[in-house]
Structure 1
Amino acid sequence: MNRIINHPILGKSEDRKRISFTFNDKTYEAYENETIAAALLANGVRTLRVHEESGTPRGFYCNIGHCMECRVTVNNQVNIRACLTVVENNMIVESGKQHPNIVKRMVEQQ
């Protein structure tokens, strides 16, 4: 696990309640009041989604809510920014999926 265990402002991690959540059907552990992004990073997850058209992997970029690269699906709600959303116990998080490019497909069929 890649976590700061004794932070000068946040305190000791052992003083915080542990919760579980799933990401892409795998169960992970997080600490209460931690963002989804922080929890995934601490558990070694680096890829959150794939680019909508190219399918190339995308992960954390700015981690402050500006870039939108960390969009995930949370409890069936799409395009949630992992860096701004606090993880909750039993939360279901799924990576962003590559969407079919309908326009490109229509052109290829002609």
Structure 2
Amino acid sequence: MTLRIQEHPILDFKQNNIIHFTYDGQAVEGIEGDTIASALHNLGIRKLSHSIKHHRARGFYCAIGNCASCNMIVNGLPNVRTCITKLEEGMVVKTQTDKGVLYEHV
């Protein structure tokens, strides 16, 4: 399933290379030029982190790196703003619930 725009009446979309990465241990794919958050959004993944104070799910919000809604652990580094971080081949992306604490799915 993809939520990516495939055809448009006045715009052309060039076909970029597929980028392989893992999200919470699952092998997934994005497209060259994607940010981590946009690749996850395209895959239907809406929850990117958890609110530290209220423990609620957070998703794609500002998309310009000003908030902390998209903070995730990327290649072992916590608090990465995934809305402005370009996707790279082999990245390991994990959900973050606290100041760098991994969210363990139950």
TM-score range for the pair, normalised by the shorter chain length? 0.7 to 0.9
| CA deviation profile, 1:36-66 (whole Å, cap 9, x unmatched) | 0110000000001111132211111111111
Greater fraction of residues in strand? 1
Q: Which stretches in structure 2 are left out of the alignment for 5+ residues?
A: 100-106
Q: Which stretches in structure 1 are left out of the alignment for 5+ residues?
A: 100-110
1:102 equivalent in structure 2: none
Superposed CA RMSD in Å reads 1.6
Q: State TM-score, norm by structure 2.
A: 0.82
Matches within 5 A, 1:21-40: 21-40=21-40
Q: State TM-score, norm by structure 1.
A: 0.79
Structure 1 segments of 4 or more deviating over 3 A? none
The percent identity for this pair of structures is 36
Greater fraction of residues in helix? 1
The range that moved more, 80-89 or 60-69, is 60-69
Aligned mates of 1:6, 1:25 — CA distance in 2:
32
Q: Verify: 1:2 aligned to 2:3, yes or no.
A: yes
Shift in Å at residue 33 of structure 1? 1.8
Give the letter for the 1:36 counterpart: I
Give the letter for the 2:4 counterpart: R
Which has the greater radius of gyration?
A: 1
Aligned mates of 1:45, 1:19 — CA distance in 2:
17
